Amino acid sequence: MKKQSKIGILFRMLKLVKPLTGFMLMAIIFGTLGFLAAEFIPILGGYAILEGLGMDTGLTWKMIVILLLALAILRAIFRFAEQRTNHYIAFTLLAIIRDKVFGALRKLCPAKLEGRDKGDLIALITSDVELLEVFYAHTISPICIAVVAETIMCLFIGSFHPLLGLVALGAFLLVGVVLPVIISKRSGDTGEEIRKQSAELSAHMLESIRGIDDTLQYSFGKKRLGEISEKTEDLSKRQSALSNLTGTNLAIANVLILLSDIVMLAVCMFLYQSGQIEFDGFLIPMIALMSSFGPVTALSALGTTLQNTVVSGARVLAIMDEIPETEDITDGVNVTFTRATAENVTFNYGGENEKSVEKNDKSVAAERNNILTDVSVAVERNKIVGIVGKSGCGKSTLLKLFMRFWKVKDGSIKISDTDIENINTDSLRDMESYMTQETHLFKDTVANNIRIAKLDATDEEVVEACKKASIHEFIMSLPKGYETEVGELGSTLSGGERQRIGLARAFLHDAPFMLLDEPTSNLDSLNEAVILKSLKAESKDKSVLLVSHRQSTLRVADDIYEMEVGRIS
Ligand SMILES: Nc1ncnc2c1ncn2[C@@H]1O[C@H](COP(=O)(O)OP(=O)(O)OP(=O)(O)O)[C@@H](O)[C@H]1O
Ligand SMILES: [Mg+2]
C-alpha cells in the first residue's frame, strides 16, 4: 500500500461528493440558517432589554415576540433539514463507496486476496466504510457552515465597532482552527492503532473459532484465551486513552470560549468608557459572541475523529487503487476449445508490483524462488492428462495459471493455440471446469451449492451431475434430500462428501476442459471407481487435466507428467 498525504486523501474523498454537490449546498445553507436562527434568539433578548431600558431599538415588543417565535420554529425546521440532507448525502455515498470496494475486491480475487488478513478485510468492508459516514455527514458541511455562519456573525458584531469584529474573529479561529489542529497532532496515531488492533482481534477470534478442534486436541485453549484477553486489554487501554483525550479537548474548548468572552468584555468596556460605542454596542456584541460558538465547537471535536476518518479513507482508497494481478479481459477474442498447452512456463509468487520497486534485487531473489521453471504440458482433446509430484512442487499452481488467476513470468499458457492473455475472461471461464483442492461450500442447500456451477441448471441436470460424482445416493439419504442445508463452509459434511460435491459442480459446469486438483484424495476405492468411470466417459469429448497422488486414480490418465520441484520430466 503506498503512503498518501493526509491532504491528498481528504481531497480525493471530497471529490467523491461531486455527484451530490447540490445536496451539499442545501445542507450548508440549511445549517447556516439554523445556527443564525439559534444565535439571534438571545440577541433579540438583548434588544428586549434595551427596549425595557427605554432605548430606541426600532423594534416593538410585539415584533420581538413574533420574531422570537418565528426564530424558534425556523431553528427546528432548518436543523432538521440540515441533518436530513447530510445523512442522505452520507448514506448515498456509503452505498456508492461500498459498491466500489466490492468491485475492487472482486477484481483482486483471487491472487491479491490469497495472503491477506481476513480480519483486516472484514474491518475494511464494515467499520472503515462506516466511519466515512462521519466525514460525509459530520465534517464537510459543519466546516462550511462554520465558515459562513461565523463570517456573518463577525460582520454583525463588527458593525458595532470593527475592533469587536476582530476580537470575535480571533476567538472563532482559536476554537475552530487552532484547537482542532493541536488536538489532531496530540491524538497522533491512536485512531489508527485502535483500528489495527480491533481488526487483529476479529481475525484472531475468527481463527480461534475455526480452529477449535485443533485447539482442544492439543490443549492449546489456555494460551489462545490468554492471547484474546491480552488483545482485548490492549484495545480497551487505547480506547480509554482516546476518550480521555476527547474529554480533555472538550474542557480546553470551554476554557478558550470563556477566555474569549472575558477579552470581549474588556474590549467592550474600554470602547464604552472611551465613548466609542453606546450601551447597545456593549450589550449586543457581548451577547452575540457568547451565543455564537456553536458552529466552531462542532469543529473542535473534529480533531480526534478526523484522524480516524483519514486512516479509514486511506484504506478504502488504497484497496480501490490496488492493481489486480490479472485484469478481466473483455477486449480479447472468444475461442472454441481444441487443446490446452503450457509452453516453457516459469512462475513465482513474487508480485509484479513489488518487482518494479527494486527491480534488480527482486528479480535475482525471484529467480531463486521460482515455483515453476520451464514447464511444458500439452492436454489434447479427448485425453486425460495426469500430473504427479511431491507436495508443494507446484501442481496446484500450474492449474491456477491455466485459470489465469496469476500471470506467468515467462513462457505462455495457450488454449486452442491462443495465448490466454488474449482470450476474454468470460470465454475462458466457459471453457474451463476447475475443481480446487479444497471445495468451499456455502451456507445454503445442497442443490444450490451444486448449482453455482450453472445457475440455470434444471433439477435433472443437477441429479445427473451428482450421479457422475457418486454423491446422488448420499444426498437422497439426507433428511431433506437436495434441499438439506449444509453448515457454514460445509461444516456438516465429511471431507469426501465435500469433495464429491465439488466434482458434481465440475461435471455440471460441463466445460470442454476440466481441471481437477486431487479430486479423489479423500475417497474410498468404491466411490473412486464410480468417479473414474464417469471421468473416462466424460473425456470422450473433453480434455481433462488431473492432479493426483494416487496411483489408482492416475490409471485413467492417457499421459502422465511427473513434476519435480517446478520442473517436469
Ligand atoms: N499465494 C501464494 N503465495 C506464495 N506462495 C505460495 C502461494 N500459493 C502457494 N505457494 C507456494 O508455492 C509452492 C507450490 O504450491 P502448490 O499449491 O502449487 O503445491 P502442490 O504441488 O499443489 O502441493 P500439494 O500436493 O501439497 O497440493 C508451495 O511451496 C507453496 O507454499
Ligand atoms: Mg496442490
pLDDT digits (tens, 9 = 90+) for 135-146: 888 889 999 999
Chain segment 500-530, per-residue pLDDT in tens: 999 999 999 999 999 999 999 989 999 899 8
Best of 108, 368, 371, 554 for a ligand 1 pocket test (most atoms within 8 Å of beta carbon): 371
Cβ-contact 504, 533 below 8 angstroms? no
Distance 427 CA to ligand 2 centre (A): 25
CB-count exposure of residue 360 (10 Å: 0-12, 13-18, 19+): exposed
Residue 557, pLDDT above cutoff 70: yes
Residue 166, pLDDT above cutoff 60: yes
Nearest CA owner, ligand 1 atom 28? 392
The alpha carbon of residue 357 and the mean position of all alpha carbons in its chain are separated, in whole angstroms, by 25
Atom of ligand 1 nearest to the CA of 390: 25
Ligand 1 pocket by C-beta < 6 Å: which residues? 114-115, 349, 371, 389, 391-397, 437
Distance 466 CA to ligand 1 centre (A): 29
Residues in the chain: 569
Distance 139 CA to ligand 2 centre (A): 50
List alpha helices for 322-412, DSSP H.
352-357, 359-368, 395-402
Best of 347, 377, 395 for a ligand 1 pocket test (most atoms within 8 Å of beta carbon): 395
Best of 393, 401, 517 for a ligand 1 pocket test (most atoms within 8 Å of beta carbon): 393
List alpha helices for 327-479, DSSP H.
352-357, 359-368, 395-402, 425-431, 446-451, 459-468, 472-477
Residue 451, pLDDT above cutoff 90: yes
Of 544, 343, 307, 552, nearest to 434 by C-alpha is 544
User: Which of the two residues, 361 and 260, has the higher pLDDT score?
Assistant: 260
Chain segment 6-25, per-residue pLDDT in tens: 889 989 999 988 999 999 99
Of 336, 517, 534, 520, nearest to 433 by C-alpha is 517
Mean pLDDT confidence for 475-480: 92
Which ligand places an atom closest to the C-alpha of 517? 2
What does the pLDDT read at residue 110? 81
Coil, strand or helix at 513: strand
pLDDT-derived band at 210 (thresholds 50, 70, 90) equals: confident
Cα radius of gyration rounded to whole Å, the chain:
34
Residue 300, pLDDT above cutoff 90: no
What does the pLDDT read at residue 23? 95
Neighbouring C-beta atoms of residue 166, cutoff 10 Å: 14
Mean pLDDT confidence for 161-175: 95
pLDDT-derived band at 232 (thresholds 50, 70, 90) equals: very high
Write down the domain spans for the chain.
6-202+233-321, 340-568
Distance 352 CA to ligand 2 centre (A): 23
Atom of ligand 1 nearest to the CA of 400: 18
Best of 397, 407, 408, 554 for a ligand 1 pocket test (most atoms within 8 Å of beta carbon): 397
pLDDT-derived band at 356 (thresholds 50, 70, 90) equals: very low
Distance 392 CA to ligand 2 centre (A): 7
Cβ-contact 401, 347 below 8 angstroms? yes
Atom of ligand 1 nearest to the CA of 115: 1
Q: What's the whole-number average pLDDT of the chain?
A: 89
Nearest CA owner, ligand 1 atom 17? 396
Cβ-contact 238, 190 below 8 angstroms? yes
Distance 371 CA to ligand 2 centre (A): 12
Nearest CA owner, ligand 1 atom 1? 114
Residue 365, pLDDT above cutoff 70: no
pLDDT-derived band at 267 (thresholds 50, 70, 90) equals: very high
Neighbouring C-beta atoms of residue 545, cutoff 10 Å: 26
- pTM score of the predicted model: 0.76
**Lowest pLDDT segment from 277-291, 356-370, 459-473, 536-550:** 356-370
Distance 437 CA to ligand 1 centre (A): 11
The alpha carbon of residue 343 and the mean position of all alpha carbons in its chain are separated, in whole angstroms, by 38
User: Which of the two residues, 150 and 198, has the higher pLDDT score?
Assistant: 150
Residue 384, pLDDT above cutoff 90: yes
Distance 438 CA to ligand 2 centre (A): 9
Angle at 548 between CA 543 and CA 554, to 5 degrees: 65
What does the pLDDT read at residue 558? 93
What does the pLDDT read at residue 220? 82
pLDDT-derived band at 357 (thresholds 50, 70, 90) equals: very low
Nearest CA owner, ligand 1 atom 26? 391
Coil, strand or helix at 60: coil
| Record: fold of 340-568 | Rossmann fold (3.40.50)
**Lowest pLDDT segment from 15-19, 543-547, 564-568:** 564-568
Distance 398 CA to ligand 1 centre (A): 10
What does the pLDDT read at residue 367? 58
Distance 393 CA to ligand 1 centre (A): 7
What does the pLDDT read at residue 359? 45
pLDDT-derived band at 183 (thresholds 50, 70, 90) equals: confident
Q: Evaluate the omega torsion of the peptide bond into residue 295 and state whether it is cis, within 30 degrees of 0.
A: no
Homologous superfamily, domain 6-202+233-321: ABC transporter type 1, transmembrane domain (1.20.1560.10)
pLDDT-derived band at 301 (thresholds 50, 70, 90) equals: confident
Cβ-contact 552, 386 below 8 angstroms? no
Residue 214, pLDDT above cutoff 90: no
Which ligand places an atom closest to the C-alpha of 388? 1
Nearest CA owner, ligand 1 atom 27? 391
pLDDT-derived band at 153 (thresholds 50, 70, 90) equals: very high
Lookup: cell for 320: 480501490
What does the pLDDT read at residue 351? 54
